[in-house]
Amino acid sequence: MRYAYAITSALLLGGAAATLTLNPSDAQTAQNEPGAINATAAPRAGAPMSFADMVTRLSPAVVNISTTQRITVQQQANPFSGTPFEQFFGGRGGGGAAPRTQEAQSLGSGFLISNDGYIVTNNHVVSAGAEGATVESITVTLADQKEYKARLIGRDALSDLAVLKIDGANFPFVRFGDSRQARVGDWVVTIGNPLGQSGTVTAGIISALNRVGQGPYDRFIQTDAAINRGNSGGPMFDMQGNVIGINSQILSPTGGSIGIGFAIPAEQAKPIVDTLMKGASVERGYLGLMPQDVTEDIAQALGIAKDRGALVASVTPNEPAARAGVRAGDVVLSINGKEITAQQSLTYLVGRERPGSRVTLDVLRSGRRQQIPVTLGTRPSEEQIASQDERFDPEARPQTPRSSENLAATAGMIVQPLTPAIARSLGVDAAVRGVVVADVDPNSDAAAKGVKRGVVIRTINQQPVTSEADVTRIIQQARASGSKRVLLYAQQPPQNIARFVPISIDDRN
């Protein structure tokens, strides 16, 4: 499949970036005369007069990357099969139709990092773009229009990086710079292949640093330099001609550039690229727990500052965190002295450590801080992580246990003991202790937070609950202390992944 793009030219009115001299219609323009207005504009302080010399040096190292993909499409069965019309609508065959294949192409950018043909790009540039698709070939086109077939040396989906290799020698190449020295407001230049327009140069400034993306390890450089589809994998240069970023994503409601583009910092990319060039896979540290953000409600319930730390929702048995004694309900405040924040999440910081390294977690447990040393494991594949990380679904309809005669209304919830029979009917592990929600006031904050019939509550304010009396007592204690919230530790069958849920106990709500 080929994509055609319409290029529209426009005349800019009223906003030209040049000085305009107005003269009477019959006047001649003065040339080098005293008092004449000079139309040559000087650059702003710190701005280059032109990027041309730098671009001339760097462009030969920037490449276009295209893939040829084969897509298998399952055809629908012939509805006329077995009828007299079969010969007219579909020819031979039974009720099913053989799959057919289609060819598709993708376009992206990359850059040479060695004279023997190693190339860096985004993983998504050289990945199949649709279900049932396979990449059959990768073609690299240099600035002199020479084409080479490329081999995929290595890829890392989590960082969206890939390394290719073309055969040859004495290729022009560029080097990584130190993105840690980059500052908001610095000039940057990008070169790439947007919408198939090879060798396109755009310039802008760094708009922000450490932008958090959708992935656990995304910490992007944001720029207002124009980045469009096809720029992916191309370099972002500083004014010394060093690669400080790899263009990766844009934020746009239209699909085109609106001045919000993102690049993977060289600081993160270079170690991964070095590993991939050796043919090795990227390994990241792993604790084996499920962290939860400390929201304002959770922070108030725990009496800590919001947006600081990671609340441990669950711990995977026999993994590093569990072996070190980390428990559900702990709040991890820092790792090796580095604070856990929205920009530095627990997953991000742990992933930057080597498997097998020993780290120290600063943990808040029941109001007391303690240090827990942990030897990190190796992060499993994303498929394995996904199977462990099933999210609490407040809309799922649980199996309904029978009601008990002795029910207590507490913060809008009616609860009863979690008996072995009820636990079995809900698919809850026999070792779990708690109470099960029999009903919820639909106007309560508990209902608004997703607590519903069938939810198992294991602790409230990190105190175990096994009866209606426990629930009533803890909530009454919280109210007496002036607290407006309590923190439930609850799990929803059938996933049975426990989560912390802050609910209001304010009588006015």
- Token pair of 26 as six digits: 């019959």
The arithmetic mean of pLDDT across residues 367-374, rounded, is: 92
Is the overall model pTM greater than 0.85, yes or no? no
* Residue 429 annotated as binding site: no
Considering only CA atoms, which of 485, 478, 476 is closest in space to residue 444?
Answer: 485
Whether residue 35 lies inside any domain: the answer is no
In this prediction, residue 210 has a pLDDT band, given cuts at 50, 70 and 90, of confident
Residues 264 and 296 in one domain: no
Q: In terms of domains, do 217 and 252 share one? A: yes
Distance (Å, rounded) from C-alpha 459 to C-alpha 403? Answer: 21
CATH of the domain at 420: 2.30.42.10
**425-477: per-residue pLDDT in tens?**
788 877 788 899 888 888 888 888 889 888 999 999 988 898 877 888 899 88
Greater model confidence, 107 or 6: 107
Last residue of a domain, one of 216, 251, 277: 277
**pLDDT attached to residue 257:** 83
CA distance 411 to 388: 31
- Of 120, 142, 165, the one marking the end of a domain is 165
Cα 210 to Cα 262: distance, rounded to the nearest angstrom: 10
**CA distances for 121 relative to 74, 110, 265, 279, 295, angstroms:** 32, 5, 13, 16, 37
pLDDT single digits (tens) 39-94: 444 555 566 678 999 999 999 999 999 998 887 766 665 655 656 655 555 554 44
The whole-angstrom separation of Cα 478 and Cα 390 is 31
Q: Which amino acid is at 9?
A: S
Cβ atoms of residues 160 and 110 within 8 Å:
no
Domain range holding 383?
A: 285-388
Length of the chain: 509
CATH number of the domain to which 195 belongs: 2.40.10.10
C-beta separation of 263 from 208 below 8 A: no
Other C-beta atoms lying within 10 Å of the C-beta of residue 201 = 18
Q: Is 178 annotated as a binding residue?
A: no
Cβ pair 269, 276 in contact under 8 A: no
Q: Is 231 annotated as a binding residue?
A: yes
End-of-domain residue from the set 277, 309, 331: 277
| 74 falls within a domain | yes
Q: Are 159 and 217 in contact (CB under 8 A)?
A: yes
For residue 213, is it within any domain?
yes
Confirm or deny that 232 is annotated as ligand binding. Answer: yes
- Could you give the residue numbers annotated as active site? 124, 160, 232
Q: Are residues 271 and 290 in the same domain?
A: no
Angle of CA points 14, 15, 16, to nearest 5°: 110
Give the number of domains in the chain.
4
